[in-house]
Structure 1
Amino acid sequence: MDDIFQILSKLSLIKGKSVLATIIHVEGSAYKKEGSCMLIADDGSQIGLLSAGCLEEDLRWKAEQVFLDGTARIFTYDMKDETDLAWGQGAGCNGILHILLEPINQLLMENLFMLKTCLDEGDSVLQIKQFDNDFNLVSTSFFSEKGKAFGDKCPHSIEVNDFIQSGLMTIENLSPAFIHLFKPKPRLILFGAGEDAKPLVHIADYIGFHVILCDWRPSHCNKANFPNAHTIIQGFPQEIYEKIKLTQHDFVVIMSHHFQRDKEFLSLIKNDKLSFLGILGPKKRTVRLLGGGDIPQWISSPVGMDIGSKGAEEIAISIVAEMIKVLRKRTTVGSP
């Protein structure tokens, strides 16, 4: 997932000076794309990566310059040359990266905390970094999907949903701007708190999903058994369904191994628009859960990419891999 979540979660722990490094433009291919960011602290520590390790040491040195004068700067790295003296060092990045380094002053710190609040509330936020014609950073503005605006005042109206791709562009023929849309962590609603759910919860959390674990058995569904679950909901399917309030951005996996409970939960959600719906177990079982007929194409059954997985850990990897594939395409599934 985006490095911004790691940065925002640890921002309050950073003492002393720090610099936010953001990829604002990529020419060719690169390990990370526009909008990727990392934090560099003056004690030499860092959060996140912008490359496969090729650039970070030099970025720390360049951050020292930003620490000294407190001025944001753009640095360019040509990763195409594969000689030993070049940045690419044969790593195969084959692109040119333009990276903005900006000091995290009090105002930016406040804006980042506000960004965290919005994302935690499930609110997408559009960030606009405006430059002058010499590419000096002039202002940073934020606009949330729910109508919040913070940061510097933007001289024009913004529709958050008009922007999908990140990168440098012009707005209303003004000077160049870097645009990036921060999206909340995708939610994984997992129905079933059996032993085989443990590696799935752990891996999904590590990858960056907001995991909501649901089950009717308190002895199974609890924080002691699932310390990586962000939310625990104990209850029967109807109670759970009323609490989670599904959206088209959600991922759902059904794996309680209890046929009647799975059937009841599936009957409640099968008409909702979702990003992903997967059901553990063979196709014949899913057909029975649906009451017969063909399995709709938008239901993943059996859930998980076909990698020949065996055991709970490998099955969990296959499920997360399939969810990542869907996440990158970001389409909505569900009955018409």
Structure 2
Amino acid sequence: MTHEFKDIVNQAEVARDKGIKSILASVVALEGSSYRKPGVRMLILEDGKMIGAVSGGCVEKEILLQSESVFKTGQSKIITYDGRYRLGCEGVLYILIEVFEPDDSFKKVFFNALEERKSFEIWSYYSKAEAFVSGLGSWVKIKGSFFSLQSHAKKLKTNNSLSIFKQYMPPCFKLVIIGAEHDAVQLCKYAALTGWEIAIISGPSESKSVVNFPGAISFQAVSAENMETTSIDNQTAIVLMTHNFANDLRYLVQLKNTNPVYIGLLGPSKRREDLLSQLIEYCPDIEAAFLDSIHGPAGINIGSETPQEIAVSIIAEILSVARKQDPISLSKKKGKIHS
């Protein structure tokens, strides 16, 4: 959800520059089941535009209507939305609606934390009672400091009558695509729809640039030995798509001391085994955890044939590995959809 909150901050800043006020709506509690879980947020602008969503589209109109009083008074409030009789989701949502006016000091620290790939927390103070209660609102904890999302709240004051929804926000999930062929472009396009940060790595002689990869935030044409690896962490997935055995091996050697959550290899199982065999020969002390992160052939078995379908397959596998899930049809899953 980090990338969604990042987009909310960006969109609110654009609106502010145009003189348009913003309201933040956050699902802070849930009884029963719903389309999405607590922690999902959306932004409502004074001109009626909405960024993001907290459901499949059925709750948003009510939030837009309820936000009008917050725009007028500046006072935060809680609304409840009972979907048991309207949505079929069998759940009651508790939604915090508040003015969204983070100051410049927050934005500076926030974007620095994103760039440095640091985690942060969002603390939302709420009450399930819909009556006005003092102290409602959200704060962001970054590097031990609290920043209010409301400009008038300068100091965090504890109200023992309020509940707190605390949400851990990891660095934005990142996908590193090593390769610049047509299939890499397709994977980039589809991964961009998830909101991931996408970096493209190609060989030093590559003539393409970042404009050839819709959704990518960076492009580097470097040799494997000169590839920067310090920003690769456990919120990073890597897919090797050079279509060259020797180059894939060189990149794996360069990556050996990193800890990505996922490394995907193209090609059949025999190619993977040959790559791993030579990798271990070159790097006999390589960590077992690194080897366990390597998946090949990349993707899950959904009958993919085209580059676009293969991209969907790879993205699905990355999600399943990152979320520690076994891919199955939801119709065959027992119990709740979300854990």
TM bucket by the smaller chain? 0.7 to 0.9
Return the alpha-carbon distance in structure 2 between the equivalents of residues 234 and 153 of structure 1: 47
Equivalent residue in structure 2 for 1:101, among 94, 97, 104: 97
Return the alpha-carbon distance in structure 2 between the equivalents of residues 113 and 39 of structure 1: 20
Counterpart AA for 2:296:
S
Q: Secondary structure at the residue paired with 2:43?
A: strand
Residues 262 and 294 of structure 2 are in contact (CA less than 8 Å); yes or no, is this contact kept in structure 1? yes
Is 1:35 aligned with 2:7? Answer: no
CA deviation after TM superposition for structure 1 residue 267, in Å:
2.3
Return the alpha-carbon distance in structure 1 between the equivalents of residues 207 and 267 of structure 2: 20
5+ residue gaps in structure 1?
Answer: 157-169, 331-336
Is 1:273 aligned with 2:259? Answer: yes
User: What residue number does 1:150 align with?
Assistant: 147
Residues 8 and 116 of structure 1 are in contact (CA less than 8 Å); yes or no, is this contact kept in structure 2? no
Q: Secondary structure at the residue paired with 1:118?
A: helix
Change (3 A) 1:78 1:186: same
Return the alpha-carbon distance in structure 2 between the equivalents of residues 80 and 64 of structure 1: 25
Q: Deviations over 1:220-270 (max 9, x none)?
A: 441232242111111111101x45542222211111001111011112324
Return the alpha-carbon distance in structure 1 between the equivalents of residues 256 and 229 of structure 2: 16
Q: Deviations over 1:69-103 (max 9, x none)?
A: 1100000011112xxxx3x1xxx321110000001
User: What residue number does 1:24 align with?
Assistant: 28
User: What residue number does 1:6 align with?
Assistant: 7
Q: Secondary structure at the residue paired with 1:63?
A: helix
State the TM-score, normalized to the length of structure 1: 0.81
Return the alpha-carbon distance in structure 1 between the equivalents of residues 66 and 137 of structure 2: 22
Structure 1 segment 319-330 matched on structure 2, within 5 A: 319-329=314-324
Structure 1 segment 1-336 matched on structure 2, within 5 A: 1-2=1-2, 3-14=4-15, 15-81=19-85, 86=86, 88=87, 92-105=88-101, 107=103, 111=106, 114-131=109-126, 135-138=133-136, 140-144=138-142, 146-151=143-148, 152-154=154-156, 175-240=162-227, 242-291=228-277, 297-329=292-324
State the TM-score, normalized to the length of structure 2: 0.80
Residues 79 and 96 of structure 2 are in contact (CA less than 8 Å); yes or no, is this contact kept in structure 1? yes
CA deviation after TM superposition for structure 1 residue 150, in Å:
3.0
Q: Secondary structure at the residue paired with 2:117?
A: coil
RMSD: 2.8
Q: Secondary structure at the residue paired with 1:196?
A: helix
Residues 73 and 136 of structure 1 are in contact (CA less than 8 Å); yes or no, is this contact kept in structure 2? no
Q: Secondary structure at the residue paired with 1:253?
A: strand
Percent identity between matched residues is 31
5+ residue gaps in structure 2?
Answer: 149-153, 281-287, 326-339
Change (3 A) 1:117 1:268: closer
CA deviation after TM superposition for structure 1 residue 322, in Å:
1.2
